[in-house]
Structures are given as structure tokens and as C-alpha cells.
Amino acid sequence: MRIEGVILDWAGTTVDYGCFAPVQVFMDIFEEIDILLTMEEVRVPMGQLKWDHIQSLLQMPRIEAAFQEKFNRGYTEADIDELHDRFEPKLLAILPQYGKPIPYVVETIQQLKQQGLKIGATTGYTSAMLSIVEKTAKKYGYEPDHWVTPDLVMDKGRPYPYMIYENMKQLGLRHHAQVVKVGDTISDIQEANSAGVWAIGIVKGSSMLGLTEAEVEQLSPEEERQITARVRKNYMEAGAHGVIEDISQLPRMIEQINERLMKGAALCPSASIVV
């Protein structure tokens, strides 16, 4: 038994270093109703369907209290709908700027394809949003074999497993233990765990790290070590089987998983993999 397929996230994993496109828009739409969010708050639900993300933000005690103070009432689903209606056109307008692949993505995915692996993708974006990102990424040389968005599985996005299952069906992947999911958020890890596939977190370029490429390059070795350790710890506590610094380490991670599969290893979050 060997790994047959890899399911990748988009923003923060394969494109949009630091996952900044949706973060900025979430902050903008709440600012329009005079509620200021921190970047840390916005990143907590990252990876969810965008409507669900807005709901998760409004459920946070500080933000819920701010909404109550501003409008003298609690939020309703109509409020989530209104914020989502503001969100979508703003994001669609800027997405063409955020489809460039993160370093090492194009060559690493080409390597995996040459090895015979199928490449799928899941996301928190809708089909309309991802179609824009996908076109830009393709111009730079990155193109998965298949991708699935929440609206293609009845809006059952992360942490539900259905986007992974639909990728597996379309790509002809036979067994969950032969599939690796790679992502940059806790939602990605939860999605992988729900589907019973190998869950791999990525550090550089991730929403979990939340830094631009320039900011990462300016870190001292000790700062980078400390931040990487924190991100790794968060992934592992969420149920990741392994963590990679960047996507160039993915082929080696897959080799290690294959070695364990040959020995009959079961999927077990406590049995972590170290690159």
C-alpha cells in the first residue's frame, strides 16, 4: 500500500503567501459596520466556507459583544447574509492578484505528478472565487488534476470530509489511507481527520504563520525557530500526523508515510512524522 493522491488547500498552501486576500476583506466588511477585528481573530476560523467564517467571527465573545453594543441586539442569520453579500464582491475584485503560487509549489507538484500521484484540491472559496484563483495559478504553471469547493458539496465545507471524498471519487483514489491532505489551517487538519486521511500542516506561507514572505526572510534564526515550533505545536494538537516547513519537503514526507504503510501503520495522530 502506497500513497496514491495528495489533496491540497489553496490560499496559504499553494497560492497567496500568508493567506492575506480573505483576511483583509473580512476586516474591511466588519469595519464598514464599525466593528474593528484583529488579524489574529480573523485567522482563527480560516479555511471554513466564508459564510461559516463570518458566523464563527460573530460567535467570538468580544465580537459578539461589540455587535450587541453597536446594534442593541444580537446578530441573526440575516446579518451574516448581509456581511457575506459585502464580502463576496470585494474578494472577487482582488483575487486575480492572489493566485501566484508560493515558492516550490510548481516544481514540487510536477515532481509528484511525474511519480504518478493524483493531485486534488479543496478550499474555503466558492466556485466563482476559485475559478479566478485557478486561472491565475495555471498561468504560472500550477494546476491540480481536480478541485472541489464547498458549494459543490451542498455547502458542507470544512470540517466536513465531503470535499476530500469528492476529490477521491473523481480522481479514482481507492482508500483513505492512501491519501494525504496538506493545508495551512486548523480547519484543514480537521477536514483531513474527518475524512480519515493523512493530515499534514505546512508552516511557511501559511495562515497559521500569518507573515508575508518578506517578513519571514527578516526573522532571525531564533525567531524563526520559535515561531515554527509554535505553529507545529498547534497543528499537532489539532490532530496533524506531520508538519512540513514548506511544500518542497512534501515528497520526503510522502516517502516516510509509504514506509509506514508498508509496515502496516494505521492512521494515528499520536504517531507523528518528522521530516
Domains and CATH numbers, the chain: 5-19+99-262 (3.40.50.1000), 21-96 (1.10.150.240)
Q: Tell me if residue 50 is catalytic.
A: yes
**What's residue 270's pLDDT?**
43
Tell me which of 16, 50, 118, 181 is the catalytic residue.
50
Task: Say if residue 246 carries a ligand binding annotation.
Answer: no
In order along the chain (275 residues), what is the average pLDDT of each group of 10 residues?
A: 97 96 95 96 92 96 97 97 96 95 98 98 95 97 98 95 98 97 97 98 96 95 96 97 98 96 68 54
**What's residue 268's pLDDT?**
52
**What's residue 69's pLDDT?**
96
Task: Say if residue 11 carries a ligand binding annotation.
Answer: yes
**What's residue 252's pLDDT?**
98
**What's residue 121's pLDDT?**
98
* Residue 200, C-beta contacts closer than 8 angstroms, at least 6 positions apart: 180, 181, 182, 183, 192, 240, 241, 242, 243, 244, 250, 253
Tell me which of 9, 16, 52, 188 is the catalytic residue.
9
**What's residue 273's pLDDT?**
61
Give the span between the Cα atoms of 147 and 121, in whole angstroms.
Answer: 4
Task: Say if residue 184 carries a ligand binding annotation.
Answer: yes
Please, are residues 134 and 168 in contact by the beta-carbon 8 Å criterion? no
Q: Tell me if residue 204 is catalytic.
A: no
Nearest Cα residue to 29 out of 91, 76, 88, 87: 87
